[in-house]
Structure 1
Amino acid sequence: MKGLLELFGFLALVQGVMGLVHEFTDWNWGLVHRFGFLDGYEVYASVALLALGIALFAAAESRKPG
């Protein structure tokens, strides 16, 4: 379970960073800009993904190994 939380945390962090990179540099990276319902809210969604990634890493650290 700990490994799964860490994996999802890593993916959320990467997508959050990619969304911010896309928004500020116009590089075509990440998945956040591909969802139409997030039009105009890409930065907020990317920051939320970063926060989710940090929360998932914290939850993984609180779990016992195994």
Structure 2
Amino acid sequence: MKQVLELLGFLALLQGVLGLVHEFTDWKTGIVQRVGFLDGHELFASIALLVLAAALFAVAESRKPD
């Protein structure tokens, strides 16, 4: 379970960073800008993904190793 949480945390971290890269450099990266209902809110969604990643890493760290 710990490894699954770490993997999900890594994916959320990656997508959050790629969303911020897209916002500040206009590179076409990440999945955040491709989701239709997030139009105009990509920056907030990217920050939320970074917070989610931190929470997932914290939960994974508190779990016992399998």
What range describes the TM-score normalised by the shorter chain of this pair?
over 0.9
Following the alignment from structure 2 to structure 1, what is the Cα–Cα distance between the partners of residues 36 and 6?
A: 28
Following the alignment from structure 1 to structure 2, what is the Cα–Cα distance between the partners of residues 23 and 34?
A: 13
Displacement, 1:37?
0.5
Partner of 2:14: 14
SS of residue paired to 2:28: coil
Partner of 2:23: 23
Following the alignment from structure 2 to structure 1, what is the Cα–Cα distance between the partners of residues 8 and 36?
A: 23
Following the alignment from structure 1 to structure 2, what is the Cα–Cα distance between the partners of residues 24 and 40?
A: 14
Displacement, 1:9?
0.1
TM-score by length of 2: 0.99
Q: Given the alignment of the two structures, is residue 39 of structure 1 paired with residue 5 of structure 2, yes or no?
A: no
Consecutive unaligned residues of structure 1, counting only runs of 5 or more, are none
Displacement, 1:49?
0.1
* 1:17-60, Cα deviation, whole Å (9 max, x unpaired): 00000011000100000011001000000000000000000000
Q: Percent identity at matched positions?
A: 71
TM-score by length of 1: 0.99
